[in-house]
Amino acid sequence: MKLNLPLVRLLVVKDWQLFQKQLATYVLAGIVALCFLGLAESWAFYVGSLMLLIVMVAAACFSISTSLVVERKEQTLSFVMSLPVSPLDFTISKLAGNLITFAVPFVILLGGTLATVLLTPLPDGLFVYALLIFAYILFAFAISLSVAMSVESEGWATFAMIGSMVLINPYIMALAQIPDIDQRTRVDAVVWTLPAVGILISLVVLSIAVLGATTWFHARKPAFN
Amino acid sequence: MSSELSHERVHYLDHLRALAMLAGVLFHAALAYSPLMSGYFPTADRQNSPWVDAVVWGSHLVRMPLFFLIAGFSAAWMLERRGAGGLFRQRMRRIALPLVVAWPLVHWALSASTVWAARSVENPSAVLALVRYLTELPDPPSAPITLAHLWFLYYLLLFTVLHWAFRTLGLARYGERAIRGAAAWVLLGLPLLVAPALATVSAPHPAPESPLPQFWAIAFYGAFFALGAFVHGAPDWLTRARALAPWLIVGCCALYAAFLWRLDAEPPGEAHPSASWTVALLEAFLSVWLTVLCLLAGQRLLQRPSATLQYLARSSYWVYLLHLPILFALQYALMDFELAWPLKFALAGAGTLALCLLSYHLLVARTPLRRFVG
């Protein structure tokens, strides 16, 4: 099946324009969070890192909610079906639109966080830890996006979003139980341990696999349903 | 006038930007002979003069604010002509790429020349003496990673993102409303807005060299960037501000005298880690008023195309990128010479400018590099 690329582009631009205001808010909040981290004070570190987490989780949820759940509720799909667009075009546009709107704050904040760890008196061991946290947010985003694309129910989509994001708490606690990860966060050096690398690779591979499987599944659909 | 500005090259802004960049080279050269900086600047010479302090801190208050004001004007101009996509691509090509390429090179060059000077110079500055002590330790610490003088590129990128965010959220309308009112409101209100930011750092305000964004620098320089963007939308503001120019000149003379007096009483250091509110207010008013005066003077005197100024404008970006490693190397080499400080200043300043302009002529002016740094 051939992609109608100009139309996919238009659909992505539409999602981008709808999401722009929220994205601008998240980028502003993210820069404020990085400024807090840059103060290199312990209280500012906690305020900044908490803000970063909130911004990332909110950015992931809002992008999915605006482009899929709300759209479905407002019957936008009926309008899209009147366009010369196949299920594959629609899937790719949703995937690309969400990935772009999520990737912009994700990349900026990931880069900022890693720079903070490396360039301030904070222990460099937090570098790997920060990567593990961001990898989990990526994974939770992939799960939420896949569920929202695959189910019709708003309830299940919301459950997947909230559930996967809230699970970051037990995930952080679980990381604290692994001595090879927890002890390294206090060391002023970037140390790659086997558990850390294993978790990181697993989360990234799983995220890609989940998104790939969702795309493959939708690409095979002959019609919207 | 707005449409005129939109479609024609605004020569005086190009020329002012070039002069601000070149003033930066002379400013950095002069810091080596500033009594106030003798304990903090790596190339601080044995000789210094209070006359240097009397001049350089005035230029410090206006140089970068003027540069950011022009940058804000240019960003709004480009946004109007080429849209957000065009502005983004231009910023990537002209700012992000040069920053990524130049940063490691500048860091390496400054570190290498400083370590060489710490080992070789017989009359080292306080900073060089400290570097010498640290490098002789069995386990010497690595040099702190800073953006050096390239911090302005980093903040330009940051302000481009903030500019987009503020416009998208519709927050720019408050500034647009203020700029359409009486010019005096901005001239009195803007200093009051930026003074709290200056009160959180030492006076004279330092360069925000950390790779992490700093609240004070965003508030201070961001205010000038925003003013530039707003002036683009309401260019008649300059005409209205011109009527107040005589008052601004008198005010600046009085405030600068007060600033130097307070600076002498409250020198930066452990006793005064951040500026007092008095000094912060003086800095804020001087920055805003001097910057606006420079803009008005530029509009009056520099609008006519000039081959020399245009060449300097084209080369100024390259010169600024390159100047600090060359300047430091020359000043380190001059440290042990028994020459009067004005002569050393002239040799270092002229030598740096000559080498930078020569390299521009050979490497940039007629090569593809000019698309990036020309």
Could you tell me the pLDDT band of residue B1, with boundaries at 50, 70 and 90?
Answer: very low
- Where along chain A do its domains lie? 5-219
The answer, yes or no, to whether residue A201 has pLDDT greater than 50, is yes
| Interchain contact B355–A (C-beta under 8 A) | no
| Chain B residue whose CA is closest to A39 | B214
Tell me which chain B residues have a C-beta less than 8 angstroms from the C-beta of A112. 212
Å between A18 CA and nearest CA of chain B: 11
The answer, yes or no, to whether residue A175 has pLDDT greater than 90, is yes
The answer, yes or no, to whether residue B2 has pLDDT greater than 50, is no
pLDDT one-digit tens code per residue, B93-149? 999 999 999 999 999 999 999 999 999 999 999 999 999 999 888 888 877 788 999
Give the list of residues 6+ apart from residue A176 with CB closer than 8 angstroms, or none: A182
B92, B100, B160, B168: which to substitute to probe chain A, counting the most A Cβ within 10 Å?
A: B168
Interface ipTM: 0.81
Tell me which chain A residues have a C-beta less than 8 angstroms from the C-beta of B145. 118-119
The answer, yes or no, to whether residue B9 has pLDDT greater than 70, is no
The answer, yes or no, to whether residue B285 has pLDDT greater than 80, is yes
Q: What are the structure tokens assigned to B221, written together?
A: 């320089």
State how far the alpha carbon of B180 is from the alpha carbons of A142, B79, B222, in Å.
47, 20, 19
Quick one: pLDDT at residue B201? 93
Could you tell me the pLDDT band of residue A225, with boundaries at 50, 70 and 90?
Answer: low
| Interchain contact A197–B (C-beta under 8 A) | no
pLDDT one-digit tens code per residue, B302-345? 988 889 989 999 999 999 999 999 999 999 999 999 999 999 99
Number of domains in chain B: 1
Q: Which amino acid is at B141?
A: P
Cβ A14 vs Cβ A79: under 8 Å = no
| Interchain contact B219–A (C-beta under 8 A) | no
State how far the alpha carbon of B171 is from the alpha carbons of A38, B71, B176, in Å.
25, 19, 9
Measured CA to CA, the distance from residue A215 to residue A91 in angstroms comes to: 7
State how far the alpha carbon of B252 is from the alpha carbons of B257, B259, B276, B372, in Å.
8, 10, 19, 37
CB pairs under 8 A between A and B: 46
C-alpha B268, offset from chain centre: 20
Cβ B35 vs Cβ B334: under 8 Å = no
State how far the alpha carbon of B10 is from the alpha carbons of A128, A163, B16, B17, B77, in Å.
49, 56, 10, 11, 10
Å between A128 CA and nearest CA of chain B: 19
pLDDT one-digit tens code per residue, A5-54? 888 888 888 878 878 888 889 889 988 988 888 787 778 888 988 898 88
Å between A122 CA and nearest CA of chain B: 13
Cβ B11 vs Cβ B304: under 8 Å = yes
| Interchain contact A113–B (C-beta under 8 A) | no
Å between B209 CA and nearest CA of chain A: 11
| Interchain contact A118–B (C-beta under 8 A) | yes
pLDDT one-digit tens code per residue, B64-101? 999 999 999 999 999 888 888 889 899 999 999 999 99
Residue ranges in chain B assigned as alpha helix (H): 2-7, 11-31, 50-91, 97-120, 126-135, 151-168, 172-180, 183-198, 215-233, 236-242, 245-265, 277-301, 307-334, 341-359, 370-373
Q: Which position has the higher pLDDT, B224 or A107?
A: B224
Over its C-alpha atoms, chain A yields an Rg (Å, rounded) of 19
Q: Centre a 10 Å sphere on the Cβ of residue A202 and count the other Cβ atoms it contains.
A: 12
Most confident of A188-192, B7-11, B48-52: B48-52
| Interchain contact B164–A (C-beta under 8 A) | yes
Measured CA to CA, the distance from residue A156 to residue B175 in angstroms comes to: 44
Q: How many residues does chain B have?
A: 374
Choose among A21, A112, A119: nearest Cβ to B145. Answer: A119
- Say whether B259 sits in a helix, a strand or coil: helix
The answer, yes or no, to whether residue A1 has pLDDT greater than 70, is no
- Per-residue buried b or exposed e for B18-31, using 16+ beta carbons within 10 Å of the residue's own CB: bbbbbbbbbbbbbb
**What domain range includes position B162?**
2-373
Can you tell me which residue has the tokens 């002239």? B346
Å between B212 CA and nearest CA of chain A: 5
Choose among A24, A112, A120: nearest Cβ to B164. Answer: A24
> For the residues of B267-306, what is the DSSP string, one character each?
-SSSS-SS--HHHHHHHHHHHHHHHHHHHHHHHHHS-S--
| Chain A residue whose CA is closest to B161 | A27
User: For a pLDDT cut of 70, what percent of chain B falls above it?
Assistant: 98
Quick one: pLDDT at residue A120? 76
| Interchain contact A201–B (C-beta under 8 A) | no
